[in-house]
Amino acid sequence: MNHGKSLRKLGRTPAHRRALMRNLATALVLNERIETTLPKAKELRRVADKLVTLGKKNSLHARRQAMKYLMPVNRQESGNAQKTSAVHKLFEEIAPRFENRHGGYTRVVRGRKNPEGKRLDARRDGDGAQMAIIEFVEEELRQAAPKKRKRRAVKRVAAPAQPEPMEASAEAAPAEETPAAEEAPAEETKE
């Protein structure tokens, strides 16, 4: 029975699972898109949404909670500098994007992409694990392409088309005669 399964254990001990989620969350904040297995991506979605909610609060306490969760990344600088930059990016770049959005900050897309951006199959070569891409949702994409409603132009055109030609032809005929009459005397005066 599957009652009470509140989280995926991912075949790891609780400490290993927590470290894995912290590493994945840090990578997602720094890169804004990562490729991982589907169960890890679905579990990371919960963690990432909570981190963005902390970023939207933008208080000192929320910033300290995010610093506590995100892992230090050892690159050229010291680990603390990279950790601060991940928190800084979360609070200054990522969270303001979702100011008007209430949840659902990430998207999980099944499959993976090669370096050219072409979509490959959803299975990893080595062990056949189902792969997924998790990324932050882009708000600009929705605003740039709104859906257009299709109008029924046939009914609107068919009804007014019948009475208008009769009236238009009666009005158009005298309008054509008056310019012709004006043109004829103008030609006579030239000769």
> What are the tens digits of pLDDT across the range 159-171?
555 555 555 555 5
CATH class (in words) of the domain with range 14-139: alpha beta
Rounded Cα distance between 170 and 181, Å, is 18
Rounded Cα distance between 28 and 135, Å, is 7
User: 143 pLDDT band (50/70/90 cuts)?
Assistant: low
At position 84, the amino acid (one-letter code) is T
Rounded Cα distance between 40 and 60, Å, is 30
**Could you give the angle at the alpha carbon of 135 between the alpha carbons of 129 and 141, nearest 5°?**
135
Question: pLDDT at position 5, please?
Answer: 80
Question: pLDDT at position 128, please?
Answer: 86
Rounded Cα distance between 35 and 131, Å, is 7
Q: Where are the domains of the chain?
A: 14-139
pTM of the model: 0.65
Question: pLDDT at position 81, please?
Answer: 64
What are the beta bridge partners of residue 130? 123
pLDDT higher than 90, residue 37: yes
User: Average per-residue pLDDT in the chain?
Assistant: 78
Question: pLDDT at position 9, please?
Answer: 83
Strongest mean pLDDT among 1-5, 54-58, 67-71, 107-111: 54-58
Stretch 22-35: mean pLDDT, rounded? Answer: 93
User: 181 pLDDT band (50/70/90 cuts)?
Assistant: low
Looking at residue 33, what DSSP letter applies?
E
Question: pLDDT at position 76, please?
Answer: 57
Higher model confidence: residue 11 or residue 74? 11
Query: What share of the chain has pLDDT > 90, as a percent?
Result: 45
pLDDT in tens, 73-87: 755 555 566 666 889
CA-based nearest residue to 23, from 92, 105, 83, 85: 83
CA-based nearest residue to 21, from 45, 4, 5, 38: 45
